[in-house]
Structure 1
């Protein structure tokens, strides 16, 4: 597996086009909601005391904005916000905040529509925040021009719009779904698979964009890609799965929300299908594992974070959440709030002078090989060179893991 993110992937990434962002945007909207099952059975290790030094922040606060999807008719992700709050509390108590100053959060709940997100962006400018963290959103285009236009840095774990991935002072910590798709293609090639059936959630332009860009990922890797659309909310995808598995498919990729993952995987069980599986993070939601049992064991997961292992970053994530947000569910996309907030804090560690929008922005641009929160072994550098054509992306690495007992095990990192 050590070569799975090798030169083939780098060449595929170079050929990616921004049209793939349509896929990413729709997937964010489709995969945002997950189970709220208790997550106490994650890894049992606890972070050492050295991870919690006695270094409280003092002095005048630095205001950091958080725009999070909450209270909307379709999407509400309060645990993302709780994770961002937990990371800020952790930094205030143990990391000296930002530049020695305590972090004071300005929270805006967006309903995940352009008007609401734009209003939140305007509020951040009016309140004079020094940076804005956005754990997850499909409406970056409505926020980035306002926020960065005011000279305020904008940080998100994975951008979903061209504005987030190309604008000065916008920072996307990782390559998100575009990177995962390229990694899947090259992993399939390295395993000798010749044909992949991708069960993809049929939302917005996802299907058309995935098909149009197939040559940039699977085609470039010499693997045939067969796309099988699945309508959101489909309770029984057996007809779609049966059609997708025809013609000698070697491996399946499941790309959608937790509900779609459950539907496709249960249909495979019904059909007695035993093809290898490639999945993304929502398929590890507790609701999916409860529904499909051990049928996911052996699947290959392409992830934006490692929250289950006993690696130091995963352990720190769980420990911080247990200490500062004990009632939050740490599964699903909760890590995005923690990853974005702590990523900002770590990137700004060596800022010069008082923590203002300008000095924080300069610190992010100049920070090199910053450890990615909740992703052991990955570092990020936001100097515009990580991903050709996407200067706001700070890292092109990803995590690949094998599913065992409903958890991502043996995580590997590469580029």
Structure 2
């Protein structure tokens, strides 16, 4: 294979350099005060006194790649819900929506609009292009609460407040899950710089479970079919196997393309199972690929949150039912929708804590930075962001939620594979040792 393309990976841009290299991000921690010396100016007030509290939610819509229309749609439904009940602390919540179109120019345009609208935060959003929008938000002192967790900057920027563990946590957790249920494991991943980090993450989980490392199979990032990789993966997953092995496609938005080839090749290896992470596969993908007859039937999947049928989502579902019943963009099983719900839970908690004080990007940011704790009804552990968190040493200082849930596809439905969640903090540290 010829030289690697240093292009953005939609699966794991969060680790575009070896994990150890991310320790350089520790320099950001010197800006703990978020003072002007770090290029951050005092925040805007999103409405003073009884005026509205203005925030923004952005996500790609109507593109030929990843689309997350349910995230801004849920944000609007959430605003209607709180405003119907008198707002937050008696203040109207105003949500500004922006479409980043999976484009760096549009992502920067959304950030500039956030500055123009004087939003107090960007909440529950999805974008791959943190390299273009974070400098703008940081320059204006606008916090980014609850991004989707797909870029390195979301776990290093002092203005980022992620609510999940991103792709690093999911892959480390998947390795832990597969170690107890699979024979040989074969990983199919992009032949990119970002892709080079995937074996370290999944192998750290496999090793924690006493399992041998996964076979590492590379594919061109822009491949349009994966017949060769499917055959190789299936052969590796059955090599000297006392029990059937597992294949892990870690190809981002190319995963469905891989599955077209895998479905055909798998006919000769019916016992081989799949493993993947939420974001590559969700309930909408299962429904679209045949439900119980989907090639994902029996697959192991790791996620950030409890399964959609869990009662802890009842509050979100009630808001969807009451405020967006006919809005087909909002799928309560979508991880993006769930992330937006949790992000707005964080925002509401901060605004309530401010009471009669000014609500601005500055006061929201300072509240979060001063050890403020947010509970989310059990959907995540208690969230608190500090400048020296447990994963600072591996270059992920803003990663505060290291819990992942273990799920399996049964009858075409994502169901919990075990009760509760697992903490992958030590597994992620192990990935650093292997990097």
Among 175, 180, 184, the alignment partner of 1:185 is 175
Among 344, 354, 357, the alignment partner of 2:358 is 354
Q: Compute the displacement of 1:183 (Å).
A: 0.8
Could you say if the C-alpha distance between residues 203 and 350 of structure 1 is closer, same or farther in structure 2, counting changes exceeding 3 Å?
A: farther
| Deviation larger for 395-404 or 157-166 | 157-166
Unaligned runs of 5+ in 1: 1-19, 28-57
* In 2: Cα distance, 1:377 partner to 1:173 partner: 8
1:44 maps to what in 2? none
1:273 maps to what in 2? 270
* In 1: Cα distance, 2:318 partner to 2:148 partner: 23
Among 92, 108, 119, the alignment partner of 1:118 is 108
Among 243, 248, 256, the alignment partner of 2:232 is 243
| Deviation larger for 294-303 or 177-186 | 294-303
1:88 to 2:86 alignment: no
2:247 maps to what in 1? 252
Structure 1, residues 238-287: CA drift from partner, whole Å, max 9, x if none? 43222112242622223334624642652464233312332222323434
SS at match of 1:246: helix
Matched ranges for 1:10-409 at <5 A: 23-25=11-13, 59-72=50-63, 74-94=65-85, 97-189=87-179, 191=180, 193=182, 195-200=184-189, 202=190, 205-211=193-199, 216-218=204-206, 222-229=211-218, 237-247=226-236, 248=239, 250-255=245-250, 256-257=252-253, 259-260=256-257, 262-263=259-260, 266-267=263-264, 269-281=266-278, 282-294=280-292, 295-312=295-312, 314-326=313-325, 327=327, 328-330=329-331, 331-332=333-334, 333-352=336-355, 353-366=357-370, 368-372=372-376, 376=379, 378-384=381-387, 385-388=389-392, 389-409=395-415
Taking only aligned residues, the RMSD between alpha carbons, in angstroms, comes to: 3.3
* In 1: Cα distance, 2:14 partner to 2:307 partner: 24
| TM-score of the superposed pair, with normalisation by structure 2 | 0.72
Structure 1, residues 339-373: CA drift from partner, whole Å, max 9, x if none? 33333323443125121112211222346552347
Structure 1, residues 188-239: CA drift from partner, whole Å, max 9, x if none? 33x1746311233x37544333246666554566531113345678776443
**1:151–1:169 Cα contact (<8 Å) kept:** yes
* In 2: Cα distance, 1:213 partner to 1:176 partner: 12
Could you say if the C-alpha distance between residues 209 and 288 of structure 1 is closer, same or farther in structure 2, counting changes exceeding 3 Å?
A: same
* In 2: Cα distance, 1:72 partner to 1:293 partner: 25
Structure 1, residues 10-31: CA drift from partner, whole Å, max 9, x if none? xxxxxxxxxx99852389xxxx
Could you say if the C-alpha distance between residues 287 and 194 of structure 1 is closer, same or farther in structure 2, counting changes exceeding 3 Å?
A: closer
* In 2: Cα distance, 1:93 partner to 1:386 partner: 40
Q: Compute the displacement of 1:144 (Å).
A: 1.4
1:414 to 2:418 alignment: no
Could you say if the C-alpha distance between residues 368 and 274 of structure 1 is closer, same or farther in structure 2, counting changes exceeding 3 Å?
A: farther
2:46 maps to what in 1? none
Q: Compute the displacement of 1:120 (Å).
A: 1.4
2:39 maps to what in 1? none
Structure 1, residues 271-314: CA drift from partner, whole Å, max 9, x if none? 333123322223234343443443544332211233521322x2
* In 1: Cα distance, 2:165 partner to 2:285 partner: 26
* In 1: Cα distance, 2:233 partner to 2:421 partner: 30
SS at match of 1:350: helix
Q: Compute the displacement of 1:72 (Å).
A: 4.3
**2:154–2:161 Cα contact (<8 Å) kept:** yes
Greater C-alpha radius of gyration:
2
* In 1: Cα distance, 2:111 partner to 2:404 partner: 29
* In 2: Cα distance, 1:377 partner to 1:77 partner: 21
SS at match of 1:279: strand
1:35 maps to what in 2? none
Q: Give the paired residue count.
A: 361
Could you say if the C-alpha distance between residues 26 and 236 of structure 1 is closer, same or farther in structure 2, counting changes exceeding 3 Å?
A: farther
Unaligned runs of 5+ in 2: 1-7, 16-48, 424-435
| Deviation larger for 120-129 or 276-285 | 276-285
| TM-score of the superposed pair, with normalisation by structure 1 | 0.75
